[in-house]
Structure 1
Amino acid sequence: MSDFLKQFGDEIKKNIPGYVAVAVTEIKSGISYFSDSSLDGFDPELASAFNLEVVKAKLNAISALGLDQSIDDIMITLTNQIHIIDISENNEYFIYLAVDSNNANLGMTKALLNKYKKEISGKL
């Protein structure tokens, strides 16, 4: 697992323009299995802990509304950053990614995240 996550982190850093931070977190336990940041003082594990509450709230809302739906991703646009919470296909993990909105290519970012979330479902 650690080799896969190291490769995942290396590819994210290398291939996503505007990369700021990334974390892979288990939804049920809240355990972060991988995290990295290009900015001093930006703690992706702390950010994931707060974003886990966002994911859980949305899952509860879907359940309360009786919707037969699942979350693909949640995007939060800040002044200078975009934060993406991408849920794995098995709904057990999420990838939290922060990018600089001035340098990010959102299409490429989402395409790479879709590739990685398929791999995460099978390898973790």
Structure 2
Amino acid sequence: MSDFIKTFIEEVKTNTPGYIATAVADVKTGVLYGSDSAVPSFDPAIASVYNLEVAKAKMTAIKALGLDSKLENILVNLNNQIHIIDLAEDGAYFVYLAVDSTKANLGMTMALLNKYKKTLKDNL
């Protein structure tokens, strides 16, 4: 795993209230650049594979509808967790982040994610 990926994951893990897991993966190939989980039973690698399929399905729907738009992120609200699928501006990779919704604030979580993503944007 590259140093800038490790740095990104560590910053997200350390500074995001309610942090559960994160992963960074390539959109075209699904190759995982790096991942981490604070919960041993939560596998971010598996989660990122399935969430990539969600993102691809949404991109297919956007194309089928003839929308002049690009997918930026997908929020999935579970009864006790928030899952964020955040695509890079160029669509080459995505960040998956899961947080405990009883400890996290969505606005703060998104602001922190955007702050730390700058490291990825400059290096991926």
Q: Please classify the TM superposition score into its range, dividing by the shorter chain length.
A: over 0.9
Question: Which aligned pairs between 1:42-57 and structure 2 lie closer than 5 A?
Answer: 42-57=42-57
What percent identity do the matched residue pairs reach? 59
| SS of residue paired to 2:33 | strand
Match of 2:96 in 1: 96
Q: TM-score, normalised by structure 2?
A: 0.95
Contact map agreement 1:89 1:118 (CA 8 A) in 2: no
Structure 1 unpaired stretches of 5+ = none
Match of 2:8 in 1: 8
Match of 2:26 in 1: 26
Contact map agreement 1:87 1:95 (CA 8 A) in 2: yes
How far 1:55 moved relative to its partner? 0.5
How far 1:25 moved relative to its partner? 0.8
Give the Cα–Cα distance (whole angstroms) in 1 for the partners of residues 122 and 19 of structure 2: 25
Structure 2 unpaired stretches of 5+ = none
Query: RMSD in angstroms over aligned alpha carbons?
Result: 1.2
Give the Cα–Cα distance (whole angstroms) in 1 for the partners of residues 118 and 53 of structure 2: 23
How far 1:37 moved relative to its partner? 0.1
Give the Cα–Cα distance (whole angstroms) in 2 for the partners of residues 114 and 62 of structure 1: 23
Contact map agreement 2:23 2:48 (CA 8 A) in 1: yes
How many pairs align?
124
Contact map agreement 1:87 1:117 (CA 8 A) in 2: no
Contact map agreement 2:76 2:83 (CA 8 A) in 1: yes
Give the Cα–Cα distance (whole angstroms) in 1 for the partners of residues 121 and 67 of structure 2: 23
Match of 2:80 in 1: 80
